[in-house]
């Protein structure tokens, strides 16, 4: 189901996330890009005239739990909706999932937001654009670095080669996405998760 960003009183509203379908093996045919499954907490950042808000995948406002990330948002835009995951980076850059819950309560400064999609930018709904165009807009917005807001890299080519690499560094699989797919809230067969 395609949903557009709604504006209510000058404030953008939370959009339910696109959820990848689970598969045994990643797709090997052309037209897919692949990302490491970060195994963090799915999160949406909304930036508008109401400030910066962070939401859980169920639409709960978690801005106070993720306050260091909220304070670090300083992007060259008036409005935006970013989709990604909050993680605690571990050794080799892999997400340390067991440390995530503890960090939220005891060491929130360790939290990092890795964004892999952008749904809205400065009054423009981007969800109807193909994935690779959205990723290009996201890359340009972030000017990627290693701060609290990071760009989630994607790879084109062999899904199985990436799958073996992420397994070696302790990640929990990969997410494959159709390069030409539009963003659709809910379960999707254009995003696939292989563990």
CATH number of domain containing 113: 3.30.470.30
Residue 13 inside a domain? The answer is no
- Terminal alpha carbon distance of the chain: 25
Residue 9 inside a domain? The answer is no
Instruction: Specify whether the CB–CB gap between 96 and 88 falls below 8 A.
Output: yes
Residue 112 inside a domain? The answer is yes
Please give the Cα distance from 107 to 120 (Å, whole number). Answer: 31
In the chain, the number of structural domains is 1
Cα–Cα nearest to 93, from 143, 36, 144: 36
Residue 63 inside a domain? The answer is yes
Instruction: Specify whether the CB–CB gap between 120 and 78 falls below 8 A.
Output: no
pTM above the 0.85 mark? Answer: yes
Residue 2 inside a domain? The answer is no
Mean pLDDT within 7-23:
90
Residue 43 inside a domain? The answer is yes
Query: Mind listing the pLDDT tens digit for each residue in 116-163?
Result: 999 999 999 999 999 999 999 999 999 766 689 999 888 887 666 666
């Amino acid at each position: 189901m395609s949903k557009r960003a709604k504006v209510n009183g000058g404030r953008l509203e939370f959009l339910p996330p696109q959820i990848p379908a689970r598969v045994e093996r990643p797709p090997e045919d052309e037209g897919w890009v692949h990302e490491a499954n970060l195994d963090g907490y799915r999160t949406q950042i909304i930036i508008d005239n109401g400030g910066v808000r962070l939401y859980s995948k169920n639409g709960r406002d978690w801005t106070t739990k993720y306050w260091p990330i909220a304070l670090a948002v300083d992007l060259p835009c008036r409005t935006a909706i970013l989709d990604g995951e909050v993680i605690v980076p571990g050794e080799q850059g892999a997400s340390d999932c067991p440390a995530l819950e503890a960090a939220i309560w005891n060491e929130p400064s360790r939290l990092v937001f890795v964004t892999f999609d952008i749904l809205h930018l400065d009054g423009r709904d981007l969800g109807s654009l193909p994935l690779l165009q959205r990723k290009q807009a996201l890359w340009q917005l972030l000017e990627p670095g290693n701060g609290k807001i990071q760009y989630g890299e994607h790879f084109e080519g062999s899904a199985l080669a990436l799958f073996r690499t992420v397994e070696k560094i302790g990640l929990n699989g990969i997410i494959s996405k159709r390069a030409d797919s539009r963003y659709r809230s809910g379960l999707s067969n254009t995003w696939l998760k292989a563990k």
